[in-house]
């Protein structure tokens, strides 16, 4: 269903999961390009882009959010038809843009409408809101990265590796989501993409500042979490090697003792077996061998 609010001469429409009737209405009223309408039918996330036409722009952007478990980062897609006197936002679910749309709809009922003079200004307000929320999410992931760094030397290895794996996945999703959109926002800031209002470069520059700050944070987090993961793997390998080394040395000490014990357990004549103190002699010899091997390993710094 197409919901529309009027902000002076400007119309802002929002559609959640557009039906064929909705797309047909857009085609008849605005004469949008069939390929853009086809993109609106897609149920999978498309690559971020901007299509430039004489009387409107078609934009696809991606922004992050947490899934229902509030653990993993998910990608939300927004499609925007941007004209001189209209803005049409399309989403696949109720999300931040829908919340903002509802807020403005409720404000209109109390005559407190959003002060925007052009579709460019409205688009800026929407992008600014999305950027601020994206920055909050990126900062939370950044804190998770710091937590992973502090947890490297915890004894609970299973919990630590789980935290590192989840955080690394979130950082990778943020990285792959934000990277393709850098060029698009750079074009807005530089004026390579002309809007419908004058003197918007400073506003687009503010959006780019948000974006650059988030991108720098994500890039740094990517390097950090990769290093933490490598460090954690090295620590676990080192711990495993230490355990194997100790077990090997213990086995080496027990091997000659086991040989002597099995030898004197045989039903054959052996030296000193008839001696009244044979048990103490054999046990003492085994003790001296064990102590001697332990001292030797210490001298060699194998223990």
Rounded CA gap, 221 and 239, in Å? 26
What are the backbone dihedrals phi and psi of residue 155, each rounded to the nearest 5 degrees, phi first?
-75, -25
Burial class (CB in 10 A: 0-12, 13-18, 19+), 106: exposed
Q: How far apart are CA 108 and CA 241, in angstroms?
A: 68
* Residue whose entry in the numeric block shows the structure tokens 């000193």: 272
The Cα 51–Cα 65 span in angstroms is: 25
Domains and CATH numbers, the chain: 2-237 (3.30.460.20), 238-299 (1.20.58.340)
Distance CA 61, CA 296 (A): 68
Cβ partners under 8 Å of residue 39, min gap 6: 46, 58, 60, 79
Q: Along the 303 residues of the chain, how does pLDDT read in single tens digits?
A: 889 998 888 999 999 999 999 999 999 999 999 999 999 998 888 899 999 999 999 999 999 999 888 899 999 999 999 999 999 999 987 788 998 888 888 887 777 666 777 899 999 999 999 999 999 999 999 999 999 998 888 878 888 889 999 999 999 999 999 998 988 888 888 888 888 888 888 889 999 999 999 999 999 999 999 999 998 888 888 888 888 988 888 888 888 888 888 877 777 676 776 777 777 778 888 888 888 888 888 887 777
Q: How far apart are CA 33 and CA 52, in angstroms?
A: 11
């Amino acid at each position: 269903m197409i919901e529309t609010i009027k902000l002076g001469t400007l119309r802002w429409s929002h559609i959640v999961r557009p039906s064929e009737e909705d797309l047909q209405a857009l085609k008849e009223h605005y004469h949008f390009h069939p390929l853009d309408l086809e993109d609106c039918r897609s149920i999978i996330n498309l690559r971020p882009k901007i299509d430039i036409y004489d009387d409107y722009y078609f934009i696809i952007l991606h922004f992050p959010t947490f899934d229902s478990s509030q653990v993993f980062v998910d990608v939300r897609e927004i499609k925007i038809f941007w004209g001189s006197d209209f803005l049409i936002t399309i989403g696949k679910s109720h999300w931040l843009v829908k919340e903002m749309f509802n807020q403005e709809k409720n404000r209109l009922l109390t005559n407190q409408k959003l002060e925007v003079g052009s579709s460019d200004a409205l688009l800026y307000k929407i992008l600014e809101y999305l950027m601020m929320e994206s920055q909050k999410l990126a900062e939370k992931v950044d804190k998770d990265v710091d937590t992973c760094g502090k947890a490297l030397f915890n004894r609970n290895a299973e919990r630590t590796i789980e935290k590192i794996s989840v955080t690394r996945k979130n950082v990778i999703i943020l990285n792959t989501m934000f990277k393709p959109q850098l060029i698009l926002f750079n074009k807005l800031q530089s004026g390579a993409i002309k809007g419908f209002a004058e003197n918007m470069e400073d506003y687009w520059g503010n959006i780019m500042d948000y974006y650059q700050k988030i991108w720098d944070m994500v890039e740094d987090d990517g390097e950090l979490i990769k290093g933490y993961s490598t460090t954690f793997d090295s620590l676990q390998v080192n711990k495993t090697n230490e355990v194997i080394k100790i077990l090997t040395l213990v086995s080496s000490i027990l091997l000659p003792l086991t040989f002597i014990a099995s030898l004197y357990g045989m039903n054959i004549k052996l030296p000193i077996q008839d001696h009244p103190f044979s048990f103490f002699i054999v046990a003492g010899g085994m003790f001296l061998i064990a102590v001697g091997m332990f001292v030797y390993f210490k001298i060699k710094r194998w223990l």
